[in-house]
Every structure is written in C-alpha cells, then in structure tokens.
Structure 1
Amino acid sequence: MLFASLMKTTTKVWLTAATLGAAGAAVLVSRALAARQLRQDVRDLFAGVIDAAPRHYHEAQLIGLPAPVQRYFRRVLPDGQPYLRGVRLRHTGQFKTDLDKGWVDIAGEQYIMADPPAFIWQGTSRQFTARDEFVDGHGRLRVRLLGAVPIVDGTGPHFDQGELLRWLSECAFLPTALLPSERLQWSAIDEHSARLTLTYGGQTLQYLFSFDHQGELVQCETQRYQGENQLLPWRGRFSDYQQLHGVRVPTLLEGMWVLDGQERPYARFTVQELHYEPLEPF
C-alpha cells in the first residue's frame, strides 16, 4: 500500500514537473519569438528614416523663441550639432499595471525616429511583455501575459493620440526634433514654461513644458485619454540630465496621471544606455 501510494505521489510530482517545464519552455519560446519580431520591426522602422541633406543646429535658429525654450536648447545642444535621426535606448525601472496596485520591476528598450515621428517600445516583467508603438501614423498597445497570452491589443484614434503624445514627450532624448518646424511651434507662457504644439497626421496636440533655472526640461503636461472616452491630465517628469554623445538628455523619467488633483505615478524608468548611431536593434 505504501509503495503504491509512493508510486502515485511520484507520478503526480513528475506530471506536475513536466507540466511546469512545458509551460516554462512555452514562455521562453514566446519571449524569444517576440524579441526576434521586435528586431525585425526595428529594422523596418529605421529603414523609413528620411535621409535628407544633413542639417545642423545653430543658435541663430532660436531668435524669436520664448526665453525658457532658448535656454533649453542652449543647455542641451552644442552649436553646430547635426540633427539627430533617431535614438535607441535601454532602461530599467518600475511599472504599475493598475494605479491601485503595487510596483513591478520592468526592463525595456525603445527606438525613436525623428522624421517621420515614430517609435517602438517593448518592456518585459516577470508577469507580462508590453509593446507601445507609433508607426505609420498610428498608435498601438499590446500586452501578453508571460509573453505568450494576448490580453490587450489596443488600436484606434485614442491610441493614435496617446502614442503620438508619448513620442513628443520622449523627444527629450532627441532635442533637435523639438526645434521649430512646419509641424511644430512654440508659444510663450512665462519665464519658466512654454506651450508646444504639434500638428501631424490629422492631429493637433499640445503640451505645457516646464523648465528649471538651468534651462533643463523638467516636466511636460497635457490631456490624454485614459480608457475609452475620458481625457485626464497627464504629466511626465525628467531629471538626472547627463551629457551623452555630446547631447544633454534626462536619464530618469516618471509618468503619472492626475486624478482629483492628486498625482498618481505609474512608470519610473532609468536609462541604462543610449545611442544615436547606428540605428539598429540592440
């Protein structure tokens, strides 16, 4: 009897181990496939970079811009800086899947293109793999449980708006993309803030940008969709600026919603590495 019970128990243990092993293998395979797809999509993304005649930033371009915006560009860009075509970066950090839940560790990589506006971000935690993107004028958010089971696949006008807003705020990594152009204009507010307006792909978006006494961009604020039809205040914070490849950029970022006047952060990222060339997958 004891031997039979032991055999049954051993069989159950082996079956459980085999099931867990198969599940673990499936997760590893799914994440490997997602990583391979990401690399291909990044190659396709950067293949669309507009290679116009090389342009260089000069301080004469700042004439007429609001005072804090002039200080910002003088702070982060050397005179004569070539326009940046794109950037790739890796980060660590924490993320909340729900504002009322706890923080989970996350690591991600992001690829941003200056012209036309586009980016791909992919983040991975123990529980999920998420992908944010704005490509070919459209936004999309996808989330897979354990990197394998699709649980979110969001598209449509609200995602177009949200992802283009993300691209614009994270041009803090691509300061030349924030210089005035046909689609981008600055307007004065006060000594430490200015309004940025972007018109692209049938959308007109605005940010309130705030700068510190040194001229560094420290906060951006806008109205962004949370859910289907609700526009809410959203803020991004930037800090710990460092000189990377000749350009001064933030390495700490925080994203938050403002609900009933209270800031509710949900993302905190620390940049671990950042490169402007070559434009290729990690």
Structure 2
Amino acid sequence: MKIPSSTASLVTASLIFAGIAVTVVGIGKTKWHAKTNELRARLDAARRPMTSETVDFNTLTTLPPPVQRFFRTVLKDGQPIVAGAYVKHKGTFNMSESGEKWYPFTSDQRVVTQRPGFDWDGRIKIMPGLSVHVHDAYVAGDGILHASLLGLFTVADMLDKSDVAAGELMRFFAEAAWYPTALLPSQGVRWDAVDEKSAKATLEDGDAKLTMLWTFTEAGSIDTVRAEARGRAVGGKVIPTPWQGRFWNYTQRLGMSIPLDGEVMWLLPDGPKSYWRGHIDEIVYELAQ
C-alpha cells in the first residue's frame, strides 16, 4: 500500500517537531539543574558554625508563655538542633494577580538554618508537557525569584533588591514551622509577648531585620505567621502588602511535631487571597553534630 506523499510529509514533519521538542526540554532541564546546583553550592558556602547543638529547655523560662508552650509541645529537651533540611512538596499555585488560575506543582527545597537560607526549586505545570520552572531563594543575604518556561525562557527575574531579599527571609522565617529548632533563642530569634495566644518574633541576618506575628493553637502548635508588609508583585511593581502563612496537619518527624500542610495568602482590603497551597511529601533533616 502506497502512503500518499502529503501524509508521509506530515508524519515526517511531526517526527521532526517531536524530536526538536524533546531536545529543547532536555536542554532546559540541564540548564536549570546546573543553576540549582550553583545556588545550593552558594548556600553551603555561606554556612556558619551552629551556636548550639541541642535543645535546652532551661533557656525557655523567660520567653512569653505561648512560646514556651509551643517549644515544649513540638520539641523534646536535649534533642539535636536542625542544621539543614531537604523537603519535597506537591500542591497548587495561583498564577493570577487578581483572579483564580490554579495549577499543580511539584518542588524540592534545600534549607540551611545557619546562615539562614533556602532554595525552592518548583515546577508548575500549566499544560501537558509545558511547565514553568521557579527558583525562589534566599542565599547569602540575596533574594532570588526567577521563573522560566521550560527552564529556558525567562518570564520573571527579581534578584538582589532589598525588598526581594526581605520577602525571601520572611519566607524562610515562616517556614521554620518545618524545622522548629530554628526558632529557638539560641539560634538568634528574639521573642516578645503579645497575648496568651500570640507573640512577635524578630530575626536578623546581615543588614536585614524583620519581625513577624505568630499565633498558636490551644494545643501549642503554630497556627499562623503574619508579616505586615511583604513585597507583592503587581503590574511589574513591588507593593508592600500584609502576608500570612497558615499551617495544619501536624505529625512527628525525628521527635519534632511539624505541619505537613500549609497555605500562603495576601491579606487584601477585600479579603484574603491565597496563592500557594502545599503538602510535604518528604522531609529529611541534617542535624547538628
């Protein structure tokens, strides 16, 4: 049976296109992987010696009551301090500034607690075979937000601006719910009383200094973390906006009680606007020695 020349040409063109697509995807993955390795090498190069290696409940007696209750709930006296972590997530991300355009994502994240830093390597699937790769990071005092289609074509790039760095340090601080020893006074965090269910915590890194409001459940775990002004990208500009993270579904990992689920939102005049909802699939800790 003879195949019509037009059909043969179409098949040939389809095979060529498929081959080009596979090549482009492969190049993108290789390029993105190299950038991930570079960022994480910088994270490790900026590390500082741990100021303490174990949890000491004797150092908690001057803290506000809800903070004392939190540490005694989620930690054990004498357990090792977390020096770093590897985290894998899955969830959904809202890519619309004003509406609701939720897309699935998977990600892996490297965290170092001293000097504070992380790299979130996310892949947001916007359609079959097409993903936006995202580095959201705080490395050696620099804030990094880089999004790239297929890992090749940049669609957003924010680097080293003071508001970006402050926003990324806020993210590190809020996500300490996953590595709660990083919130201890021995790790450089100062706690100030607010009321019986909340307290303010202050963290400094280099020239950056930030204070956030933490609220706790009756059981003693973290419920929400709030910043009064985090940089929000709107129409190409960065607008300081109230921001909040919420955590739930606590479980035990290496003697610590941590949340497996979280949600992040902007607190806008017309109500909260969520943009990240995620679940921890896996978390592996590096402990101080």
Partner of 2:230: 224
Secondary structure (helix, strand or coil) at the match of 2:185 reads coil
Asked if 1 retains the 8 angstrom alpha-carbon contact of 2:85 and 2:284, the reply is: yes
Q: Are 2:249 and 1:240 aligned?
A: yes
Partner of 1:151: 155
Amino acid at match of 1:276: Y
Q: Are 2:284 and 1:275 aligned?
A: yes
Q: Are 2:78 and 1:72 aligned?
A: no
Deviation at 1:200, TM superposition (A): 2.0
Identity %: 31
Partner of 1:254: 263
| Structure 1 unaligned blocks of 5 or more | none
1:60-209 matched pairs, under 5 angstroms: 60-99=58-97, 100-126=99-125, 127-155=131-159, 156-181=161-186, 183-209=188-214
Asked if 1 retains the 8 angstrom alpha-carbon contact of 2:225 and 2:246, the reply is: yes
| Structure 2 unaligned blocks of 5 or more | 126-130
- Alpha-carbon distance between aligned partners in 2 of 1:232 and 1:17, rounded to the nearest angstrom: 49
- Alpha-carbon distance between aligned partners in 2 of 1:86 and 1:193, rounded to the nearest angstrom: 27
- Alpha-carbon distance between aligned partners in 1 of 2:214 and 2:147, rounded to the nearest angstrom: 30
Asked if 2 retains the 8 angstrom alpha-carbon contact of 1:49 and 1:85, the reply is: no
Greater displacement, 19-28 / 81-90:
19-28
Deviation at 1:176, TM superposition (A): 1.3
CA displacement 1:131-162 (0-9 Å, x = unmatched)? 11111111010111122211111011111111
Q: Which runs of 4+ in 1 moved over 4 A?
A: none
Amino acid at match of 1:63: T
Secondary structure (helix, strand or coil) at the match of 1:33 reads helix
What's the C-alpha RMSD, in Å, of the aligned pairs? 2.2
CA displacement 1:64-102 (0-9 Å, x = unmatched)? 111111111001110001221111110111111124142
Structure with greater strand percent = 2
1:4-23 matched pairs, under 5 angstroms: 6-23=4-21
Deviation at 1:235, TM superposition (A): 0.6
CA displacement 1:247-280 (0-9 Å, x = unmatched)? 111110111111114111111110011111389x
TM-score, normalising length: structure 2: 0.89
- Alpha-carbon distance between aligned partners in 1 of 2:187 and 2:252, rounded to the nearest angstrom: 28
Asked if 2 retains the 8 angstrom alpha-carbon contact of 1:54 and 1:82, the reply is: no
Greater displacement, 31-40 / 172-181:
31-40
Amino acid at match of 1:116: R
Secondary structure (helix, strand or coil) at the match of 1:55 reads coil
- Alpha-carbon distance between aligned partners in 2 of 1:261 and 1:199, rounded to the nearest angstrom: 32
Secondary structure (helix, strand or coil) at the match of 2:286 reads coil
TM-score, normalising length: structure 1: 0.91
